Amino acid sequence: MKKLVGSMVLALSMSSFALAGGDIAPVEPAVVAPVPEVVDDSGFYLGVAYGAVKSEDYYTDSVNEGYDEQLDTDFDSIMGQAGYKFNQYIALEGRYWWSTGNGDSTYGDDPNGFGNYRFGDTDINDYDFEAWGIYVKPMYPVTDELDVYALLGYAGTKIESDNFSGTPDVLDLDDNGFSWGVGASYSLTDDFSVFVDYVSLYNDKIPYNADETGTDDVEVYTINVGLTYKF
């Protein structure tokens, strides 16, 4: 009798639980999202590049009205760079350029009849170039291999020349100032990358002579193509 009563109570209890929607759902294992791998992109790097440098010098004379002169000088240069990449978005970089030969100069047309005189790599008018720069380098990874970047910093630019008589030319430049650039780099391997960029080294007005009656509007910029190695 006791067994019968116990069985009836158990049956009634299970029926009530079923009517109340009390089905026991199976316990599913917790899904753990994969943690993305953090790539350490920091480190030192070194690089070397060919630089095509151009100096544009436009002279105006406030006393001799209409006396204007354009002097363009092209240089072949080697550029060395060293930097530290903090992450994939920012780096600090130093650069140094030096010319590999005499500059190739061209005088433009002016109303006083100078015409076009091309001196080239001759002994009558030799130009040498060197420059340095320190830059903050913000970067943006377009793809895993391709980065675009800017250069914002401070640079010193020096151009020395000998004119026809072998004495220093009044168009010499030795000055410091703000410098900027833009470029792109492409990773060939984890360590090696190629890059191309444009850098404005100098853009300002300087007095042409002691009494400052003449003014030179000088711009110096370079296009660089090179290779970097990341440690």
pLDDT tens digits for range 67-84: 566 778 899 999 999 999
What is the full DSSP assignment across 67-106?
-EEEEEEEEEEEEEEEEEEEETTEEEEEEEEEESS--EEE
Domain contains 103 = yes
Domain contains 26 = no
Domain contains 8 = no
Domain contains 35 = no
Q: What torsion, rounded to 10 degrees, do the Cα atoms 229, 151, 135, 132 define?
A: 80
Question: Cβ neighbours of residue 119 under 8 Å, at least 6 residues apart?
Answer: 104, 105, 125
Tell me the average pLDDT across 78-91.
97
Domain contains 37 = no
Residue 48: pLDDT over 90: yes
Domain contains 85 = yes
Of the CA atoms within 13 Å of residue 187, those in its CB half-sphere come to: 14
Whether the CA torsion 125, 53, 71, 119 is positive or negative: it is positive
The Cα–Cα gap between 124 and 156 comes to 26
Q: What CATH code is carried by the domain that includes residue 198? A: 2.40.160.20
Domain contains 215 = yes
Question: Cβ neighbours of residue 186 under 8 Å, at least 6 residues apart?
Answer: 145, 146, 147, 193, 194, 195
- Among 101-105, 192-196, 211-215, where is mean pLDDT lowest? 211-215
> Quick one: what percent of the chain has pLDDT higher than 70?
63
Domain tally for the chain? 1
The Cα–Cα gap between 193 and 202 comes to 27
Domain contains 29 = no
Q: Confidence class of residue 224 from pLDDT cuts 50, 70 and 90?
A: very high
Rounded to two decimals, the pTM is 0.73
Residue 217: pLDDT over 60: yes
Give me Rg for the CA atoms of the chain.
35
166-181 pLDDT, tens per residue? 434 445 788 999 999 9
Closest CA to 89 of 148, 32, 145: 148
Closest CA to 51 of 101, 102, 97, 106: 97
More confidently predicted of 51 and 117: 51
Q: Quote the domain boundaries for residue 58.
A: 43-230
End-to-end CA distance of the chain: 87
